[in-house]
Amino acid sequence: MSLFDVRPPLAARMRPRTLEEFVGQEHLLGPGRSLGEAIRAGTVGSMIFWGPPGSGKTSLAHLIARYTDRHFVPFSAVTEGVARVREIIAAADQRRTLGRGTILFCDEIHRFNRSQQDAFLPHVESGVITLVGATTENPSFELTGALLSRTRVYVLDRLTAADIARLLDMALEDRERGVAELAVTAEPGALAALAEAADGDARRALTVLEAAAERAGQGGILTATSLLEVMAARIPTHDKSGEEHFNILSAYHKSLRGSDPQGALYWMARLIEGGEDPMTIFRRAIAMASEDIGLADPQALTIAVAGRDAWHQLGAPEGYLALAEVTIYLATAPKSNSVYQALRAAREAARQTAAVPVPLHLRNAPTGLMKALGYGAAYQYPHDLPDGFSPQSYLPAEVGGAEFYRPGSRGFEKKVAERLAWWETIRIRETGGGPSGSPGTP
pLDDT digits (tens, 9 = 90+) for 13-52: 899 999 988 998 999 998 888 899 899 888 899 999 998 8
pLDDT in tens, 335-367: 999 999 999 999 999 988 888 898 888 888 888
Q: Which of 123, 155, 187 is the last residue of a domain?
A: 155
Could you tell me the CATH number of the domain that includes residue 114? 3.40.50.300
Q: Quick one: pLDDT at residue 374?
A: 87
pLDDT in tens, 195-250: 888 878 888 899 899 888 888 888 889 988 888 888 775 544 445 545 566 788 88
Name the phi and psi angles at 122, rounded to 5: -65, -30
Same domain, 109 and 47: yes
pLDDT in tens, 85-111: 899 999 999 999 898 999 999 998 988
Same domain, 150 and 168: no
Whether 328 has a pLDDT exceeding 50, the answer reads: yes
Q: Quick one: pLDDT at residue 233?
A: 58
Q: Which of 212, 234, 256 is the last residue of a domain?
A: 234
**Whole-angstrom Cα distance, residue 223 to residue 321?**
48
Largest CA distance in the chain: 96
Q: Which of 216, 234, 252 is the last residue of a domain?
A: 234
Same domain, 100 and 142: yes
Q: Quick one: pLDDT at residue 433?
A: 53
Same domain, 140 and 48: yes
Question: What's the number of domains the chain is made of?
Answer: 4
Same domain, 111 and 133: yes
Domain coverage including residue 85: 25-155
Same domain, 190 and 142: no
DSSP 8-state secondary structure symbol assigned to residue 137: S
Q: Quick one: pLDDT at residue 102?
A: 93
pLDDT in tens, 53-94: 888 999 999 999 999 999 999 988 888 888 888 999 999 999
| Strands annotated E in 52-204 | 71-76, 102-107, 130-135, 152-155, 185-186
Whole-number mean pLDDT of the chain? 86
The total of other beta-carbon atoms located within 10 Å of residue 332's CB is 13
Could you tell me the CATH number of the domain that includes residue 381? 1.10.3710
Confidence label for 258 from pLDDT (cuts 50, 70 and 90)? very high
Same domain, 121 and 174: no
Q: Quick one: pLDDT at residue 304?
A: 96
193 contacts 227 by C-beta, under 8 angstroms: yes
Q: Quick one: pLDDT at residue 439?
A: 37
Q: Quick one: pLDDT at residue 6?
A: 52
**Whole-angstrom Cα distance, residue 436 to residue 278?**
56
* Three-point CA angle 175, 177, 181, nearest 5°: 35
Same domain, 76 and 150: yes
pLDDT in tens, 276-320: 888 889 999 999 999 999 999 999 999 999 999 999 888 878 889
Whether 441 has a pLDDT exceeding 80, the answer reads: no
Same domain, 250 and 227: no
**Whole-angstrom Cα distance, residue 253 to residue 298?**
18
Give the strand pairing for 152-155 and 71-76.
unpaired
